[in-house]
Chain A
């Protein structure tokens, strides 16, 4: 497979509760995958698997054709809805964190020239996300949108192969959210990122993604609803032509025929 990140018939179960069943996907390098679905449909579990926070019960996950170790690593960056930045570090130190971990195994602190270089790179990164004026500010003093900008900068500077976004803009005001959309699209293009984004906002999913995955359960047993798991019921390729795709444009999308049913 030529996919950057591949899910090979992945199942995730907790005891007899099936969360995800037979997730079989390949994610190409450079794609922006939006993931939508109702609550409890395994979107976040899917992201946790990609992140390595959990191991699949069955199946394999491959990153660059190598099996993924079930532990978070620097090849995957992440931005959560909240708590993604370190409250005790200034914006600049937050962004320097990755360099400090890589550069000093024991103290996790850089000194001298290495420190200056890391600071310069971090400052440039912060400038890129629009936080050039807030280098020495603690996250608690930043607005929600600025905190998410910081979290994105902090993740991007580690140059992850895949950037995972877990409802990154869910807690933001609509106006701020538009700004963040522009920012993430620009970064995606300029850095050639591969992004997986879980969102509750269908409009956002269509607007940003080059591909949309809808997670849901294909089958439901009313007597044992936990026995069937969710999977990607719709896998929609979105052409990135107009910046905004409205719901009325929906017929232009292709629908994956596996996911053609739902409980009636």
Chain B
């Protein structure tokens, strides 16, 4: 049998997918054990036990300075920034993307502006945001919004504008006004695309969040890993990175579920 025709079944596919993950884990454990055998005080590749005890302190013991459980305070702060930021992104994208997608005149007027804003590297705007909004929450949320929204607006407007002409004509022959056409034809078809865009934007959004937290903050997941970097505290950094990844995966899966539940038609729904 040719290699191109070898297709793993459902179970064996899962097993195959698990192999590299387990291999990476095993390689880490082995390397960590070897380094600790050579130098018991090695900080670079902490053992699972060291990570567990370091994290235990952050998860369950109140910080003597602030009296907070730092791990949870960091998580809440970061998720709050991310949530507010992405929420503002979603709402403004929906408004702007719909207007640009449905109205050719609006596209002609504002399309260039959106494109111009979208090509600015958002991190380059961070100093301006800090100057304008101060070092508080606003600047961090604004960075996420500015970083993600123009891309989303362009994507959504393009998607809405690509709705087949036939559908728009058909709606008009059924008596739909511009508003009704936007509300009943364009909006429902834009929503799944918006969710898909948000899923893709989760990665960049985390990048902007952690950048902003690293530069000026006093709480947050990004703040914490950049803070403990000074002490080479890999036993905190690695679990934090794993936690951030886990949060990102959960958000991605949740958005995928929302899309599948809410917009069954867009996912080839069966009866």
Q: Which residues of A contact B (CB under 8 A)?
A: 51, 53, 71-74, 76-78, 80, 82-89, 97-98, 100-102, 105-108, 136-138, 140-141, 151, 154-155, 158, 160
Contact of A51 among B173, B177, B179, B269 (CB under 8 A): B173
- Having A88-B188, A105-B180, A138-B264, one finds 11 other A-B pairs with CB under 8 Å, namely A71-B172, A72-B169, A74-B173, A77-B174, A78-B170, A83-B167, A85-B170, A105-B177, A108-B176, A108-B184, A155-B170
Q: Is there an interface contact between A155 and B173, defined as CB atoms closer than 8 Å?
A: yes
Known: A101-B180, A141-B270. A86 touches B173 (CB 8 A): no
Q: Is there an interface contact between A74 and B174, defined as CB atoms closer than 8 Å?
A: yes
Closest residue to A79 on the B side, CB-wise? B170
Is B216's beta carbon under 8 Å from chain A?
no
B253-269 contacts to A (CB < 8 Å): 263-266, 268-269
Q: Is there an interface contact between B177 and A158, defined as CB atoms closer than 8 Å?
A: no
Q: Is there an interface contact between A80 and B166, defined as CB atoms closer than 8 Å?
A: yes
Q: Is there an interface contact between A137 and B271, defined as CB atoms closer than 8 Å?
A: yes
Query: Within 8 Å CB of B58, what residues of A?
Result: none
Is B185's beta carbon under 8 Å from chain A?
yes
Contact of A77 among B166, B173, B180, B188 (CB under 8 A): B173
Range of interface residues on chain B? Answer: 20 to 34
CA distance A136 to B269 in the complex (A): 12
Q: Is there an interface contact between A87 and B173, defined as CB atoms closer than 8 Å?
A: no
CA distance A141 to B167 in the complex (A): 18
Known: A88-B266, A105-B180, A141-B270. A158 touches B188 (CB 8 A): no
Closest residue to A137 on the B side, CB-wise? B271
Known: A73-B173, A78-B173. A86 touches B167 (CB 8 A): yes
Interface string of B106-124 (1 = CB under 8 A from A): 0000000000000000000
Q: Is there an interface contact between A100 and B184, defined as CB atoms closer than 8 Å?
A: yes
Is B227's beta carbon under 8 Å from chain A?
no
Query: Within 8 Å CB of B174, what residues of A?
Result: 74, 77, 97-98, 101, 154-155, 158
Known: A101-B175, A101-B177. A80 touches B170 (CB 8 A): yes
Query: Within 8 Å CB of A78, what residues of B?
Result: 169-170, 173
A50 to chain B, nearest CB (A): 11
Known: A101-B177, A138-B269, A141-B270. A88 touches B189 (CB 8 A): yes
**Secondary structure call for the A interface:** loop
Contact of A102 among B164, B166, B175, B188 (CB under 8 A): B175
B167-201 contacts to A (CB < 8 Å): 167, 169-177, 179-180, 183-185, 188-189
Q: Which of B179, B184, B189, B270 has the most CB of A within 10 A?
A: B184
Query: Within 8 Å CB of B169, what residues of A?
Result: 51, 53, 72, 78, 80
Known: A78-B169, A86-B167, A88-B189. A73 touches B175 (CB 8 A): yes
CA distance A88 to B174 in the complex (A): 16
Query: Within 8 Å CB of B185, what residues of A?
Result: 86
Query: Within 8 Å CB of B176, what residues of A?
Result: 97, 101, 108
Query: Within 8 Å CB of B268, what residues of A?
Result: 140
Q: Which of B179, B180, B266 has the most CB of A within 10 A?
A: B180
Q: Which of B173, B268, B271 has the most CB of A within 10 A?
A: B173
Query: Within 8 Å CB of B166, what residues of A?
Result: 80, 82-84
Interface string of B126-156 (1 = CB under 8 A from A): 0000000000000000000000000000000
Query: Within 8 Å CB of A80, what residues of B?
Result: 166, 169-170
A-B contact pairs, 11 of them (CB 8 A): A51-B169, A53-B169, A78-B170, A82-B166, A83-B166, A86-B170, A86-B171, A101-B176, A108-B184, A136-B271, A158-B173
Q: Is there an interface contact between A98 and B175, defined as CB atoms closer than 8 Å?
A: yes
Contact of A108 among B183, B265, B269, B271 (CB under 8 A): B183
The 8 A-B pairs of least Cβ separation, nearest first, read A72-B172, A83-B164, A83-B166, A74-B175, A98-B174, A108-B180, A88-B188, A80-B166
Q: Which of A73, A82, A87 has the most CB of B within 10 A?
A: A87
B28 to chain A, nearest CB (A): 45
Q: Is there an interface contact between A88 and B173, defined as CB atoms closer than 8 Å?
A: no
CA distance A89 to B268 in the complex (A): 13
B4 to chain A, nearest CB (A): 30
CA distance A77 to B189 in the complex (A): 23
CA distance A142 to B270 in the complex (A): 11
Query: Within 8 Å CB of B177, what residues of A?
Result: 101, 105
Closest residue to A138 on the B side, CB-wise? B265
A43 to chain B, nearest CB (A): 16
CA distance A77 to B176 in the complex (A): 12
Query: Within 8 Å CB of B271, what residues of A?
Result: 136-137, 141
Closest residue to B180 on the A side, CB-wise? A108
Q: Which of A86, A102, A140, A160 has the most CB of B within 10 A?
A: A86
